[in-house]
Amino acid sequence: MQKFAAVFVVALSACASLSDSDRQAIAGKTYVITGASSGFGRGTALALGAMHANVVIAARRTNVLEDVATQIRAAGGNALVVTTDVSHPDEMVRLRDAAVAKFSRIDVWINDVGVGVIAPFTNAPIEDYSRLVDVNFKSVVYGTYVALQQFERQRSGTLVNVGSIDSEVPLAYQAAYSATKAAVLSLSRALNEELRLAGLRHVHVAVIMPWASNTPWWDHAANYSGKRPNMIGMDDPQKIVNAMVWLSLHPQEELSVGWKAKGSYISHHLLPDLTERISADLAHRYQMETPPPASPTKGTLYDPMQQGQDVKVVEPAKTP
């Protein structure tokens, strides 16, 4: 029991931090990042630019990407803007080919696009769930496919798929979102076994699993809950950005970020039913009972919006 407790404490306290040698290793490497116009994607692109990486940034909002590219170049990095709707496989091929044409190779590919549908399950239109699968899971399949083709040719490369603690612990009122994030984790686990069997020791697939974070994701989510989207104890997005950069250099199959995500991950392995009940109770209280009312919205599920062009939301919803 004491040994287990020690492992539990170490797992909760472990953190990913960049060393000086890590920062130096990033200079000149080529990264492709989808979902780079806001949130984790934007934050990671800017961080890599400051470390003089080549950063290929993809999203639907060309004008916002151009702003990110300007900041990357001003910080000493190189940037390439490729306007991309990740739900179309041909556009992902075009993204990959543009990156290789410009920088000759791809060292790291980050599948970061994700959108939510927040609602009691049958309150949302069924077509919204279909679109959610297109954006959150099929896009990861497409990005993973084209990235691994390139990595197999190079015999090296790291793929980072952005999951969620919901990949491990399904969350009430975000059922379909949780399902897509679980699919991302399952896909990545299977591919790591294929790479092992193929002897591709220098090609890696990593999944990062953050806790809820104060990003524009909440404003961009489709929402039929009748309440303003919210979650207790949201993390600073910079914590996840730092972990994503670290993971790109030190790939491991799964990385949960922060003590809340790590604790949930471990708890779900030990007491799955209890963990799911606690998570559901928190979601019910902080998403369905206490937030102020809000009108239904499809968010950015089908079309981009100008709102939410930064890494974090300046004034997040208050936790009652």
111-122 confidence digits (pLDDT tens): 999 999 999 999
- Give me the domain span that covers residue 249: 28-289
Q: What is the CATH number of the domain that holds 237?
A: 3.40.50.720
Residue 226 CB coordination number (10 Å):
15
The answer to the question of residue 78 being in a domain is yes
State how far the Cα of 248 lies from the Cα of 37, in Å rounded to an integer. Answer: 19
The answer to the question of residue 309 being in a domain is no
Is the Cβ–Cβ distance between 58 and 83 less than 8 Å?
yes
The answer to the question of residue 89 being in a domain is yes
The total number of structural domains in the chain stands at 1
What is the per-residue pLDDT for 313? 76
The answer to the question of residue 53 being in a domain is yes
Q: Span 274-298, mean pLDDT?
A: 94
The answer to the question of residue 169 being in a domain is yes
Q: Would you call 145 a catalytic residue per the annotation? A: no
State how far the Cα of 283 lies from the Cα of 172, in Å rounded to an integer. Answer: 6
Identity (one letter) of the amino acid at 280?
A
pLDDT band at residue 315, thresholds of 50, 70 and 90? Answer: low
Higher pLDDT, 229 or 11: 229
What is the per-residue pLDDT for 5? 41
What is the per-residue pLDDT for 9? 39
Cite the DSSP H helix spans in 34-138: 39-50, 62-74, 89-103, 126-133
What is the per-residue pLDDT for 2? 41
The residue with tokens 């000493």 is 76
- Catalytic site residue from 31, 129, 142, 177: 177
The pTM (predicted TM-score) of the whole model is 0.92
> What tens digit of pLDDT does each residue of 161-206 get?
999 999 999 999 999 999 999 999 999 999 999 999 999 999 999 9
The answer to the question of residue 299 being in a domain is no
The answer to the question of residue 303 being in a domain is no
The answer to the question of residue 141 being in a domain is yes
